[in-house]
Each structure stands twice: as structure tokens, then as C-alpha cells.
Amino acid sequence: MNDKLNQILQKQQQQVDEPHKKEDDVIQLVGFIIGQEEYAVPILSIQEIIKPIEYTRVPSVPTYILGVFNLRGSVIPLIDLRSKFKMDPAKVTEDTRYIVMKGVDNTAGFVIDRLTEAIRIKSSRIGPPPETIHAEKGMVYGIGMRDENILTILKVEQLLKRDF
Amino acid sequence: MEDIQEILEDFLVEAFELIEQLDQNLVELEGNPDDLELLNSIFRVAHTIKGSSSFLNFDILTGLTHHMEDVLNKARHGDLKLTPEVMDVVLESIDLMKSLLHAIRDSGNDTSVGIDITDICRRLDIISNGEPVANVVVAAAEVDESPTPTYEENDDNTDYSKLSDKEVEDEIERLLKMRKEEDRKRKETSSAAKAAAVPTPSFESLKDGDEETPKVVEPIVAKRASAEANAPAKKESASAMEQTIRVEVKRLDHLMNLIGELVLGKNRLLKIYDDVEERYEGEKFLEELNQVVSSISLVTTDLQIAVMKTRMLPIAKVFNKFPRMVRDLSRELGKQIELEISGEETELDKSIVEEIGDPLVHIIRNSCDHGIEDGATRRANGKAEMGLIQLKAYNEGNHIVIEITDDGKGLDPDLLRSKAVEKGMITEREADAMTDKEAFALIFRPSLSTAKVVTNVSGRGVGMDVVKTNIEKLNGIIDVDSEVGHGTVIKLKIPLTLAIIQALLVGAQEEYYAIPLASVLETVRIPLDEIYTIEGKNVLRLRDEVLSLVRLSDIFGVKQVYEGGEHTYVVVIGLAESKLGVVVDTLVGQEEIVIKSLGDYLQGIEGIAGATIRGDGRVTLIVDVAALMNLAKGITVDIRASAEAVVKTKTVPSDYIVLAVDDSAMDRNIMKKSMEPIGVKVLEASNGQEALNMLKSAEYSIDAVLIDIEMPRMDGYTLAGEIRKYSKYKNLPLIAVTSRTSKSDRLRGVESGMSEYITKPYSPEYLESVVRKNIKL
């Protein structure tokens, strides 16, 4: 009896310990779709995700900057990732969302086609970005291998950097 | 250790305040050398600084002030006459004192910067010794080869430089005791004075006390006494002066931000109230709501003003340094110049006070150097030998006006024109077309100077450019007026505050922009055919002026979605000395807006100064007027031609699209059938929301809408109202097709923006003719 109890206790202890061990090299991401591909950004760099709201066009900026919108009293720029990645424009649908990302000194909203899910991925399964991706140059942190598909993980700091 | 730091900080704050005062008083004294009261207060200031600095062991500073004090003391007793030469030395030593204080502030001691005071001390000594007044009894007793302190009636003549450390400590100990004793006495004196309930402050008694006071005690007493002596007109009691509190600017800024949010909230509330009022007209609760809304809006405005006031500083802060500057300049240039200051109590926001100093320095330097002539020329022209510069500040509405007037030789518009042509800034023709006022404005162009020689005061043609840039940064306006031989008047008109401004909201096609009202001179409505083109530029003759015109939608590349009528609105904006007419499609009105930054990502977009959030929660961009004027130069769109070139793309009936909105499919079919003979394309929507989305998406260019009134989700009236909110659909035919036949229903239809009202049942021919009429087929 005592043996059995000890076994159970040990097992429980193991369960408590294990996630800790794992968590060290697991990265939490939020996945989303733009065009045909699935992209992801670290969950901690996301301030919030909102449904599309009205925005105001800003003159003399590149076309991928749609304008600015009002996020509870702050004026936040809105960037169209489709256009930034040189894809064809798409209509706003029921699934369209703005992901508001926060960097060190910038905050911006990004238009995406559809959210997928929260993703946990081991850092060992993230490979370096392929050299051939031109439109997304410098913005890709790495490629995440998953069982059923691959993910393009974006560099948030780079997305938030002004490049015009 | 911390205590010492605190004392040091207090000392510095006090010393800088005192020294500023000292500068001013000395210049005043020069013009009025017999003013004993003034001299006394100057002496006390010097003395206070000496006292505190010796307490804190700043030997160099102490030595310097000590020698200065010697001279002032002699003057005070009438043993020395304060000639301009003497003043030069005294002022110079005050400058040294300032550098020492700066060094103390930056490094914590006065020895590290290596400022040498021996020379100035020697000269101060020569002044106090070398004059023939040496035979006067008092002076004879005090003048010695060593710089013996000359504290009048002081029982204490200790020379600290000769004391050992131990002795110094003992001395400090002793002095501290005395100070405590004196503090106690002083309290008694002042409370006695208060008890006596004399309206005038106890200046006399303080002064008396002060004379017997040993020097270290003096700082506090002297400060109070001198402060009072300085403002004898105000007659404020000393206790009243302590009713202030020092607050970090950061806290005030935060408070200002919060108020900004509140103002936005208020605007929003007002807007919602307007909407509600429209919808529930005559309902009882409106009255109550109205009261709440107006009281909140009133309180918010008051609160905003109150917080703004806490950030206000008297412009005297800036003006104070000018008497000294003008005095130095006049000595340097060998001219006699008097500076007359008025309105120095006028208040301005702190951030503006900080920005306004430099431009004023340049303007005044210019007036001294180029404006005022030398004595001989003035006499020859029948003017008083003493030149006069007036510096005036006053409020005008939401602005403060600073006026700098000199009675010098004035600006010669012809000379300016020829200079500008010579430098290739303008063409000969432009010069001829220029009015005098425009010619005066040339002085603000960089590298234009009319000075024949470059002095070290001015003449390089940089200063006035600085003036223009700084004033533009503050959204201010510069106005120059001048008459040859009589002088020049420069007026700076600056808004009182920067964070919350009044703005004019204008519409360019479907977009809205806010123009700071401070820069708006007027708005006019003109017929298009009054716009002329001269050398590829659009101009408008407005009264006796020719105004360049530019369309806001051309500057900001706004998408053309509809063409305006035969009239258009022109907003005349003015900044610094230039003017421009901005053509807009609609004028929305005046609103109080809170300036918000666009953030780092969108910083520095040309033509945009920031953004604000309107009552409806939308972001509206604020126009940067200075940049707008620059951008306008590069635009060469012929307004009239492009407005007249109406793009007529629809030729055959099948190009036209009519939207039928009805929740019953059968009704939509009847409509369709009725319109078949015209041959137009018919789109269908089963409710208001759907129809509105179709219009919003702008996928089809719809030419008319047939609207049923009773529909689920959004009824016909609301739909019409929503459609009319878009300026591009202002003239879109909206035809109500309904079984509601009462007069009030018809009226409501008209109010909501319907252009026609057809009652069911209708004959197909009737509907057909109405549609034909409305789409002009």
C-alpha cells in the first residue's frame, strides 16, 4: 500500500516538474493567415487583437500604411501586411482582425486575414529563415516546423521599424 | 550629507533668482544712480549671496561677492559715484558670479572650472580705493591693502581665508547659534508686525533688524527685505508670499494630458447629445440630459483653463534679461538706447516662454544694431539723441501679442527688394509685384541682411530666420510694419497654449482635416470662375490682395470621389508673414481639439502636425500650416480646369445602376419590372444595413436608391440619414417607396434626406418617370 502511494506521489511530482523543464525551450506564438500562408508572432509582443474598426488615411506614406486608428484614446498606425508582403489586396471579411503589437518604442496595428491558434513550439524546431524570401526580407525570425505544416515566424521589432 | 545637498540646492535656486534680480536692478540703477532704496536692495542681494556661499565654503564666490559688496557699500554711503565705467566692472563681476554659480550647480564646487577672479577683484578694489573719495572718514577707516570686509555696523570682521579648519568650524558653530537666535527674533518681529495689523509690510522693522544682524544670519532677512523693497508697489505681506508651492513640471504635464482626455470625452458627449436630441425630440429626459451635459462641459472648460493657468508664467521671465542686454549693446555700439518694457505681467504657457526668448533676443539685437541710428545721425534728423525701443506684451483673445517698436531708421522696402533681387532670391518681376508689406517680410529670409557691415552683434542674415522658424513652431504670426525714418514695429502673435487648441475642421472630399484656428485668417465662399491662373499658379483676388490658391485634396492626395458645385470654400491661412488660400470642399466648424502625437512610426510626415480624436471617436489629422505652405509651392494643378473637366463615363442607360431596397422580394420585383423600360441595371438589398454596406464598399457606382421605409435591422429613414452623412452621396437621389401616406411620414422623409416620396400602390409608369427624372435619362 505504502509503495503504491509513493509511486503515485512520485508520478505526480514528475508531472509537476516536467512542464518546467519543457518550458525552457518552448516558445509561445499566435498564428494567423495572410494570403495562403500561416505566420506567427510571439504571444508576448501582442498587446491585443481587435475586430476591424474605422481608420483615417494618412497622406504621403507608403501604400502599406493604411492610416491611423483610435485605440481607446491613443492614435495607432495601421499596417496592411498583405500589401507589405507584396500580395494582392483582399476585402475585409468576418475573419479579418487587427493585431496590435507592441515594441520597445512603437505600437502598431497589423491587418491579417484570419487568426489560427495559439501555438507552443520547441525552439529546436525553429529553423533559420530561407534566403530566398525577398518581400519579407529581414522581417522573418525563423521557420517553425510543425507536424502538419510550417510556420513563418516574424520579427516584431522589424515589423515595427519605420522603413520609409 | 543629504542635508548639505538639500541646503546646496536651496542655495542655488535662491542664488539664481537673486542674481536675475540683481542684473535688473543694476541696470535700473544706472539710469537712476541716486535711488538709495534700489542701491540698498542691490547691496543686500550681493550680501546674501556672499553670506550663503561662505557658509557653504565656496571661497572663490565669497571672495568675488565680497569685493563687489565693497564697491556697492561705498556707493550706498555716497562715497562713490556709479559711473558707467564702474557699472561695467560691476556687471562683469556679476557675469563671473553667474559662471561660478553654474559651475557649482554642475560640479558641486567653484574651484574646478578654474575661473580666475584676481583680475576682477583688483579692478573692483581700484574702484573702491582709487577714487578721490579716499579721504572720507568711513572709507579711510576701511580701505586697507588687504581686502578687509566692510560690513557696515557689523560686529564681526572675521576674514575667513585666514582661519584654520578648526577655527572655521568653531566660527560656523558660533554663527549657527547666532542664526538660530536671530531666526527666533525675526519670528517675533514679524508676528509682532502682523499683530499690529499694519497693511504695509514690516519693512522698516526688518531693515532695522537687518542692520544689526551678523552676516550669516542675513540671507533670510535680506532676501525678504529685498524682495519687499523690490516690489514696494505690491505691498504684499511676507506671509502672503509663502502661499506658493513648487511643483514638478512633469506632474503638470501629466495633469494636462488627463485634462486632454477629458476634453475629448466632453466633445464626444456633446456629439452624442446632439444625435439623441434629434431622435427623441420633445422627450422629457432630454431636458435633464441637457443640464448634465452642459454642466459637465462647463466644468471641463473651467478645469482646463485652471490647469492651463498653473502652467502659465509671466513673460517677465523672458523680458527681464533685456534691460541688461540693451544696456550692454548700447555701450558696445556707442549708441544711446532706452528700453521701455510694459505688460511684463502678461502670462504665457511655460513651454512657450521657453521658446520665445531666442526670437526676442534676435529682434531686439537687430533693432539696436540696424534700427536705432547713432546719436549724431539722430540729431541731424531732428530726433531725440536717445533711441527708444519699446517692448510690449498684451493679450488679444486666445493670443498673446508681443510688440517690439523702435524709433530708428525704419526698413526701406526698395532697398530690400533690390537686395533680394541681387541675391537671386526673387526675380525682378516678383520684386515689382511685391507690396511694401511683402518686401518687409523679406527680412525673414535666410542670408538677407541690409546691414552694410557685419558687426559681432548682427548683420549675418541668420537671426531673423531663427525668429521665423521659432515663431512658426509656436503656430505664431509675425507682422512687420515700418516707415522709413520713423521706425519699425514687429508684432508677434502667439497662441496661449500648445496642447489644446481651437481648430477649424474642414472636409476635402471624404476626408477631414483640422487647421489650427490661430493660423486661420478668414474663410470665404467663392464661385469657381473667380479663380485665375497666372504662370501656372492659381490665384484669387480677395479685396485688394492677390492670394495664391491650392486645393487641400491636391496637397494630401485625397481620392476624388465627387465633384463640387460651382462654388467652393477658401480658408485663408497666415503664418509668420505669408498667406495662402486653401480650397476645401466643406467647412465643418470650429472645435476644441487635443493634439496627439502620431507616434514614432509616423513621426515627421510632411504637412501633418499631429492627430486628434473627434467626438465620434474617429481620428482627424491636424495640418502643419508651415509645411503646408511649403508643399503648396510644388503643386501645379489648374483648379478651375480640373473642376470643370467633369468625368462623364456613363453614356448609355445600361451604365446606370439603381439600388432597390425592400424587405419584400415581391416588392423588389415590382420595382425591377417598372424600371425595365429604362434599361438600367438594378441591384437589390433586403434591408437598410445591407444597402448601406453596398454603398460604403463603393464596389458599384450607384446612381439612385429606391427605399422602402419599414424594414428590419435598419429602416428607410435611418438609411437615408446615414447615406447623407457621406459628402459624396450628398446629391444621390433617394426615392422613398412606401405605403405610409400621412403628412408627418412625408415630412420625416424629407428631414431624413429623401429626395422623392412615392406612395404604394404606384403605377409602374409613375415610378419609371420618377427614376428617369432623377438620373436624368
Distance from A114 to chain B by nearest Cα, in Å?
Answer: 20
B187 and B79, same structural domain?
Answer: yes
B705 and B665, same structural domain?
Answer: yes
At B287 the pLDDT is 87
B305 and B210, same structural domain?
Answer: no
Tell me how crowded residue B456 is: count the other CB atoms within 10 A of its CB. 8
B601 and B480, same structural domain?
Answer: no
B418 and B478, same structural domain?
Answer: yes
HEC-encoded secondary structure of A1-55: CHHHHHHHHHHHHHHHHHHHHHHCCEEEEEEEEECCEEEEEEHHHEEEEECCCCC
CB B270 within 8 A of CB B298: no
Residues of A in contact with B508 (CB under 8 A): none
B149 and B107, same structural domain?
Answer: yes
Residues of B in contact with A61 (CB under 8 A): 602, 605
- The amino acid present at A89, given as its one-letter code, is P
Query: Under an 8 A CB cutoff, do A105 and B600 touch?
Result: yes
Query: Under an 8 A CB cutoff, do A70 and B601 touch?
Result: no
Burial class (CB in 10 A: 0-12, 13-18, 19+), A112: buried
At B572 the pLDDT is 92
Those residues of chain B whose CB sits closer than 8 Å to some CB in chain A are: 261, 264, 511, 555-558, 596-603, 605-608, 611, 613, 617-621, 697
A155 by DSSP, 3-state: which?
Answer: coil
Strands B537-542 and B531-534: antiparallel
The set of residues, in sequence order, having a beta carbon less than 8 Å from that of A36 and lying 6+ positions away, is: none
Separation of alpha carbons B55 and B399, rounded Å: 46
Interface of A with B in 4-63 (CB under 8 A): 54-61
Write down which residue in B258, B282, B310 finishes a domain.
Answer: B310
The set of residues, in sequence order, having a beta carbon less than 8 Å from that of B541 and lying 6+ positions away, is: B530, B532, B547
B537 and B551, same structural domain?
Answer: yes
Query: Under an 8 A CB cutoff, do B555 and A59 touch?
Result: yes
Q: What's the Rg (C-alpha) of chain B?
A: 37
From B710, B714, B704, B711, select the one nearest B754 (Cα to Cα). B704
At B232 the pLDDT is 42
Query: Under an 8 A CB cutoff, do A56 and B602 touch?
Result: no
B268-275 long-range contacts, CB within 8 A, separation 24+? B268/B615, B268/B616, B268/B617, B269/B293, B269/B296, B269/B297, B269/B615, B270/B297, B270/B615, B271/B614, B271/B615, B271/B616, B272/B615
B152 and B39, same structural domain?
Answer: yes
CB B411 within 8 A of CB B365: no
At B450 the pLDDT is 58
A150 by DSSP, 3-state: which?
Answer: strand
Query: Under an 8 A CB cutoff, do A59 and B600 touch?
Result: no
Q: Which three cell numbers stand for residue A109?
A: 496595428
Tell me how crowded residue B192 is: count the other CB atoms within 10 A of its CB. 11
- Name the strand (E) or helix (H) holding A100: strand A97-102
Tell me how crowded residue B56 is: count the other CB atoms within 10 A of its CB. 18
- Domains of chain A by residue range: 25-159
Question: Which CATH number covers residue B129?
Answer: 1.20.120.160
At B575 the pLDDT is 78
Question: Which CATH number covers residue B614?
Answer: 2.40.50.180
At B132 the pLDDT is 43
Positions in chain B whose pLDDT score sits under 70: 1-4, 6, 112-113, 130-176, 178-242, 397-398, 447-462, 497-499, 561-565, 576, 640, 643-651, 698
Question: Which of B553, B601, B614 should one mutate to test binding to chain A, selecting the residue with the greatest count of A CBs within 10 A?
Answer: B601
Residues of A in contact with B557 (CB under 8 A): 59-60
At B210 the pLDDT is 42
B57 by DSSP, 3-state: which?
Answer: coil
**Residue A162 touches partner B, C-beta closer than 8 Å:** yes
Angle between helices B322-333 and B2-31 (to 10 degrees): 50
Write down which residue in B264, B291, B310 finishes a domain.
Answer: B310
At B135 the pLDDT is 38
Question: Which of B600, B608, B630, B635 should one mutate to test binding to chain A, selecting the residue with the greatest count of A CBs within 10 A?
Answer: B600
For A69, which residue in chain B has the nearest alpha carbon?
A: B619
Q: Which of residues B53 and A94 earns the better pLDDT score? A: A94
For B512, which residue in chain A has the nearest alpha carbon?
A: A56
Per CATH, domain A25-159 is 2.40.50.180: yes
> Nearest by CB to A60, which of B597, B603, B607?
B607
The string of pLDDT tens digits covering residues A33-71 is 988 888 999 998 999 999 998 899 998 888 889 999 988
B342 by DSSP, 3-state: which?
Answer: strand
B205 and B86, same structural domain?
Answer: yes
Range of the domain at B438: 314-494
- State ipTM: 0.78
Separation of alpha carbons B263 and A35, rounded Å: 42
Question: Which CATH number covers residue B262?
Answer: 1.10.287
At A109 the pLDDT is 92
At B151 the pLDDT is 40
Angle between helices B218-230 and B2-31 (to 10 degrees): 40
The string of pLDDT tens digits covering residues A108-153 is 999 999 998 888 888 888 888 777 655 556 788 888 888 888 888 8
Question: Which CATH number covers residue B753?
Answer: 3.40.50.2300
Distance from B557 to chain A by nearest Cα, in Å?
Answer: 7
Separation of alpha carbons B580 and B539, rounded Å: 10
CB B370 within 8 A of CB B455: no
B593 and B452, same structural domain?
Answer: no
Separation of alpha carbons B764 and B77, rounded Å: 111
B532 and B471, same structural domain?
Answer: no
CB A155 within 8 A of CB A136: no
Provide φ and ψ at B591, rounded to 5°: -150, 150
Q: Which three cell numbers stand for residue B243?
A: 502661499
Tell me how crowded residue A90 is: count the other CB atoms within 10 A of its CB. 14
B666 and B575, same structural domain?
Answer: no
Query: Under an 8 A CB cutoff, do B598 and A77 touch?
Result: yes
The string of pLDDT tens digits covering residues B208-257 is 444 444 444 444 444 444 444 444 444 444 445 557 787 887 888 788 77
Residues linked to residue B338 through DSSP beta bridges, in sequence order:
B388
First vs last C-alpha separation in chain B = 93
B153 by DSSP, 3-state: which?
Answer: coil
Compute the CA torsion angle B87, B90, B94, B99 (nearest 10 deg).
110
Separation of alpha carbons B177 and B353, rounded Å: 43
Separation of alpha carbons B362 and B342, rounded Å: 19
Domains contained in chain B, number: 5
DSSP alpha helices (H): ranges in B688-742? 688-697, 716-724
Compute the CA torsion angle B217, B219, B222, B224 (nearest 10 deg).
-110
Distance from A162 to chain B by nearest Cα, in Å?
Answer: 6
Query: Under an 8 A CB cutoff, do B607 and A105 touch?
Result: no
Residues of B in contact with A91 (CB under 8 A): 697
Residues of B in contact with A56 (CB under 8 A): 511, 611, 618-621
For A66, which residue in chain B has the nearest alpha carbon?
A: B602
Residues of A in contact with B261 (CB under 8 A): 73
At A30 the pLDDT is 92
Question: Which CATH number covers residue B433?
Answer: 3.30.565.10
First vs last C-alpha separation in chain A = 72
